[in-house]
Amino acid sequence: MTKQPLTPPHEIEIDVQPSDIDELGHVNNVVYLRWVQEAATAHWHVLATGEQKDSLLWVVRKHEIEYKRAALSGDALVARTWVGEAKGRTFERHTEILREADGKLLAKARTLWTPIDSETGSSVHPGPDVYALFSTRKRPDG
């Protein structure tokens, strides 16, 4: 049985810009990764306290992305992200990029993030409050 996130998914709206288009006439793969990061960052800023934002930064350990359909110049999209399971210092996050007009899935991603101390740049175990908001687990050992 899959555990449900303790926090709801978060969405951001995206308008495909001409600069997002590559020589093949569709959104470049790297742009999707930028959107995945923008959605995750927006979710963090909505949920995290001021103290959490001041003390923690996040770095990506791994991206897995599956491209389903092409996005084109002028498309209106939605990036929907939600948290997965955290194990130790590794926090899983899922993201889907959808075309707003028809709801078609264009890409889906699974990203592993690690929190770092904003002053030292070292990987850290955040407090239980961060696990409660950004994991399907209630505690780091739960």
Residue 1 lies inside a defined structural domain of this protein: no
For the domain that residue 27 is a member of, what is the CATH number? 3.10.129.10
Instruction: State pLDDT tens for residues 115-141.
Output: 999 999 999 999 999 999 999 865 444
Residue 70 lies inside a defined structural domain of this protein: yes
Domain that holds residue 25: 10-134
Q: How far is CA 20 from the centre of its chain?
A: 19
pLDDT score recorded for residue 7: 81
Residue 3 lies inside a defined structural domain of this protein: no
Question: Mean pLDDT, to the nearest integer, of 72-100?
Answer: 96
Number of domains into which the chain is organized: 1
Instruction: State pLDDT tens for residues 35-76.
Output: 999 999 999 999 999 999 999 999 999 999 999 999 999 999
